[in-house]
Structure 1
Amino acid sequence: MVRLKVSAEGQITLKKEVLEHLGIGPGDEVDIDLMPSRRASLRVIGETRPIESLFGMVKNPTGRTYTVEEINEAIAAGYAGEADD
C-alpha cells in the first residue's frame, strides 16, 4: 500500500512507484470513478488509435467470404441449436 498526503490546496502527488506501476507518464490522463463508502477507482486513459490500425486484426484462415444471408443463417442455426461445430 502506498500512502499519499493531501496538500493545503487539496491536491495529491502520486509517487514515482505508483506512476510506474500504472504506466502513467507526463501528459497522460486518468479517470476517477467515485464509488460508495468513500472509495474511488482510478483508470488510466489509453492512447487513441486510428481506426485503420484495427484493419486485419481478425484473420480468416480459410480465405472464404460470406454473404450477409449466410451469416444470418448461421446465427439463426446457432440460436436454434442446429449449428455445425
Structure 2
Amino acid sequence: MARSIVTSKGHTTVPAEVRAALHIEPDTRLLWHVTSDREVIVRPKTLSILELAGSDKSSKHVDIDGMNPWRI
C-alpha cells in the first residue's frame, strides 16, 4: 500500500509506484471523485479532446449551421 502526506497547503506527492502503475507523467491532470462511502477514486486524465478528433469513424459530417441548437 502506497502512502503520502498532505502538507498544510493541501499538496501531496503521488508515490512513485502509483505513478508508474498509472503511467502518470509531469503535467498529467488527476480527476478526484469522493463516493458516498467516503472512498476516493483518482483517475489520470491523459487525453485531451483534440487527441480524440477523428476517433469516431461512424459519424457523418455536420456543418456549423447543423451544430447550432438555436436555429429556427
TM-score range relative to shorter protein: 0.5 to 0.7
What root-mean-square deviation, in Å, do the aligned CA atoms of Structure 1 and Structure 2 show? 1.9
Runs of 5+ unmatched residues, structure 2: 59-72
Q: Which residue of 1 aligns with 2:2?
A: 2
Determine helix, strand or coil for the equivalent of 2:21: helix
Runs of 5+ unmatched residues, structure 1: 57-85
Q: Deviations over 1:9-55 (max 9, x none)?
A: 22211111111111110111111011123211011113132422443
Number of equivalences: 56
* Structure with greater helix percent: 1
| Residues 8, 41 of structure 1: alpha-carbon distance in 2 compared, 3 angstrom cutoff | same
Q: Which residue of 1 aligns with 2:53?
A: 51
| Residues 35, 53 of structure 1: alpha-carbon distance in 2 compared, 3 angstrom cutoff | closer
Structure of larger gyration radius: 1
Q: Which residue of 1 aligns with 2:39?
A: 39
